[in-house]
Amino acid sequence: MKQYGELKPSERILMGPGPSNVDPVVLRAMSAPILGHLDPEFLVIMNDTMELLRYVFQTKNQLTMAMPGTGSAGMETVLANMIEEGDKVIVCVNGVFGGRMQDICQRLKADVTTISAPFGKIIDLDDIKDALDKTGAKYVAIVHAETSTGVLQPIEEVSKLCKQYDAMLLVDCVTSLAGCELKIDEWGIDAAYSGTQKCISCPPGLAPVTFNERAQKVINNRKTKVPIWYLDLTMIQNYWGQQRSYHHTAPISMNYAFREALRLIYEEGLENRFARHELNSQALKSGLEAMGLKMWAQEGHRLPMLTSAVIPEGIDDVAARKYLLERFGIEIGGGLGEGKGKVWRIGTMGYTCNEKNILLFLTSLESALKAQGYKIEAGIGAATAMEVYAKK
Residue 310 forms part of a structural domain: yes
Count structural domains, the chain. Answer: 2
CATH number at residue 281: 3.90.1150.10
Q: Please state, rounded to an integer, the average pLDDT across all residues of the chain.
A: 97
CATH number at residue 183: 3.40.640.10
Split at pLDDT 50, 70, 90, the class of 67 is: very high
Residues 215 and 144 in one domain: yes
Q: Which of 284, 305, 300, 244 lies closest to 382, judged by CA?
A: 284
Asked if residue 308 lies in contact with residue 345, where contact means CB atoms within 8 angstroms, the answer is yes
Residue 226 forms part of a structural domain: yes
Helix, strand or coil, per DSSP, at residue 21: coil
Residues 172 and 192 in one domain: yes
Split at pLDDT 50, 70, 90, the class of 247 is: confident
Strand partners, 192: 171, 210
Residues 159 and 299 in one domain: no
Of 267, 296, 312, the last residue of a domain is: 267
Split at pLDDT 50, 70, 90, the class of 194 is: very high
Of 267, 302, 324, the last residue of a domain is: 267
Residue 4 forms part of a structural domain: no
Residues 234 and 276 in one domain: no
- Give the pLDDT of residue 245: 84
Q: Which domain holds residue 214?
A: 24-267
Residues 383 and 330 in one domain: yes
Q: What is the pLDDT of residues 331-363, one digit of tens each?
A: 999 999 999 999 999 999 999 999 999 999 999
Residues 248 and 299 in one domain: no
Residue 183 forms part of a structural domain: yes
CA dist 382 to 223, 269, 328, Å? 58, 28, 16
102-129: average pLDDT: 98
Of 220, 249, 267, the last residue of a domain is: 267
Q: Estimate to the nearest angstrom the gap between the alpha carbon of 269 and the chain centroid.
A: 19
Sign of CA dihedral 335, 338, 343, 347: negative
Residues 107 and 164 in one domain: yes
Residue 324 forms part of a structural domain: yes
pTM of the model: 0.96
Q: What is the pLDDT of residues 268-322, one digit of tens each?
A: 999 999 999 999 999 999 999 999 999 999 999 999 999 999 999 999 999 999 9
- Name every residue whose Cβ is closer than 8 Å to that of residue 11 and which is 6 or more positions away in sequence: 329
Residue 19 forms part of a structural domain: no
Euclidean distance between CA atoms 79 and 34, whole angstroms: 32
Residues 236 and 297 in one domain: no
- Give the pLDDT of residue 304: 98
Residue 260 forms part of a structural domain: yes
Q: Estimate to the nearest angstrom the gap between the alpha carbon of 340 and the chain centroid.
A: 19
Percent of the chain with pLDDT over 90: 96
